[in-house]
Amino acid sequence: MLSIKNLHASVAGKPILKGIDLEVAAGEVHAIMGPNGSGKSTLANVLAGRDFVEVTEGTVTYQGANLLDLEPEERAREGVFLAFQYPVEIPGVSNIYLLKAAVNAIRKHRGAEELDAMGFLKLVREKLKLVEMRDEFLHRSVNEGFSGGEKKRNEILQMAMLEPTLAILDETDSGLDIDALKIVASGVNALRSPERSMIVVTHYQRLLDYIVPDRVHVLAGGKVVRSGDKDLALELEAHGYSWIEKEPAQAAAG
């Protein structure tokens, strides 16, 4: 599904990612943890195609093709979805309008017919239930005046509508109360399937109780310094990142 090899990337001339290797197979969920500023969002940005991040070395292969060659919208249409750490507000553009434009852009790319108003509404109502959002949110401007938790839920709603092949969730759990966390997690779990891979960036092992990952990676200083199964998250929780920093040289990609 996704193969990252020796990825180096800089922002404003400053190296941030310093040789990342990561293999995500179809159907797998990988968690990425790591201290603030270690490059987690930068990695997510590289995958989504944000152009202020400059890839200086390495390759990213997605479904057998060079992901880095594609424009952001092409990646999205090919099934790459990023749930943003900080979703932006777009005044005057209703949530439903953006959703519809996005769904139809992606359907068109896949050679499917555009959804008509009725079909679209039916689909969106179904997905709203999944994330327990009220209809009212459809008609508000995109993220405008949404609470932190509502913004995160809105990201999951979009994900559910767009049915991506590779979903990257950047700290979707941050700022969520415990009920919202469960809702988001069940939304994510509902999308788990053998054809779909996910990369879940988080600071809290708590999320991983609900979304159980196949692999956990620790990113520090722009490198994957440790990889393991879900128990790695528990160890991190118990000992903190300094524990890893004291015990180097064990890093393994996986």
Partner 1 sequence: MAKTATELDTLVRREYKEGFYTDIESDTFPPGLDEDVVRALSAKKGEPGFMTEWRLEAFRRWQQLTEPSWAHVHYPKIDFQAISYYSAPKRPEDGPQSLDEVDPKLLETYEKLGIPIEEQKMLAGVAVDAVFDSVSVATTFKKTLSDAGVIFCPISEAVHEHPELVKQYLGSVVPPTDNYYASLNSAVFSDGSFVYVPKGVRCPMELSTYFRINAMNTGQFERTLIIADEGSYVSYLEGCTAPMRDENQLHAAVVELVAMKDAQIKYSTVQNWYPGDEEGRGGIYNFVTKRGACRGENAKISWTQVETGSAITWKYPSVILEGDNSIGEFYSVALTNNMQQADTGTKMVHIGKNTSSTIVSKGISAGRGQQSYRGLVKALKSAENARNYSQCDSLLMGDKCGAHTFPYIEIKNPTATVEHEATTSRIGEDQLFYCRQRGLSEEDAVSMIVNGFCKEVFKELPMEFAVEAQKLLGISLEGAVG
Ligand X SMILES: Nc1ncnc2c1ncn2[C@@H]1O[C@H](COP(=O)(O)OP(=O)(O)OP(=O)(O)O)[C@@H](O)[C@H]1O
Interface with ligand X includes 37 (CB under 6 A)?
yes
- Of Mg ion, ligand X, partner 1, none, which one does residue 16 interact with (CB within 5 to 8 Å by kind)? ligand X
* Partners of residue 62 on adjacent β-strands: 2, 65
CA atoms of 251 and 49, how far apart (whole Å): 27
> Pick from 1, 7, 29, 38: which binds ligand X (CB under 6 A)?
38
CA atoms of 47 and 78, how far apart (whole Å): 12
Site string for ligand X, 65-104 (x = CB under 6 A): --------------------x-------------------
Site string for ligand X, 39-58 (x = CB under 6 A): xxxx---------x------
Is the Cβ of residue 41 or residue 95 nearer to ligand X in the bound state? 41
Beta strands in the chain (DSSP E): 2-11, 14-24, 29-33, 53-62, 65-66, 80-83, 90-94, 141-142, 166-170, 197-201, 215-220, 223-228
Q: Per CB under 8 A, which of residues 1..60 are in contact with partner 1?
A: 48-52
Interface with ligand X includes 202 (CB under 6 A)?
no
> Pick from 12, 88, 118, 178: which binds ligand X (CB under 6 A)?
12
Contact criterion met (CB below 8 Å) for 195 and 109: no
DSSP line for 225-254: EEEESTHHHHHHHHH-THHHHHS-S-----
Is the Cβ of residue 40 or residue 127 nearer to Mg ion in the bound state? 40
What's the closest the beta carbon of residue 154 comes to ligand X, in angstroms?
19
Structure token pair of residue 200: 């879940």
- Of ligand X, Mg ion, partner 1, none, which one does residue 215 interact with (CB within 5 to 8 Å by kind)? none
Residues in contact with Mg ion by CB under 5 A are: 40-41, 85
